[in-house]
Amino acid sequence: MRQRGTEKVKPIGWLGIAPDRKGCGIVLLDGGGKEVLAQTVSWRALATTLRSLPFAPAVVVVGESWRHRWVQVVLRSLFPEALLVLVRRPLSPYPDLSQEALALLRHYLSRENL
């Protein structure tokens, strides 16, 4: 016999990452599309920042750059169950990497009608 209410529901979240030469822009959205975290971090602080997220994302959107393969390896080791999506970055970069990460994430969500 199956008991109701005993199963844990995982929060659905989306993580947007915009890698650059100086560091990474990180944006975490909850299931309702509300920003939980938006910041720009250095390369040294990337893994520590990702480990300290309030919940594991279900979908990770990464902007294509010269360093996206290294970012993918870090993401796969930290979030093995997450869907990893690689998207092209816009031609005109944003002044802040966290804004660019948010733009990449919003572009993916609108394209997928989520």
- Whether residue 1 is contained in a domain is answered as no
What's the CATH number where 70 sits? Answer: 3.30.420.140
What's the whole-model pTM score? 0.82
Pairing mode of beta strands 83-87, 23-29: unpaired
Q: What is the pLDDT of residue 12?
A: 80
What Rg do the C-alpha atoms of the chain give, in angstroms? Answer: 15
Average pLDDT over residues 57-86: 90
What's the domain count of the chain? 1
Which range marks the domain in which residue 32 is found? 14-111
- Whether residue 2 is contained in a domain is answered as no
Asked if the model's pLDDT at residue 5 lies above 60, the reply is no
Cβ neighbors of 84 (< 8 A, separation 6 or more) are: 60, 62, 72, 75, 76
Asked if the model's pLDDT at residue 1 lies above 50, the reply is no
- Whether residue 5 is contained in a domain is answered as no
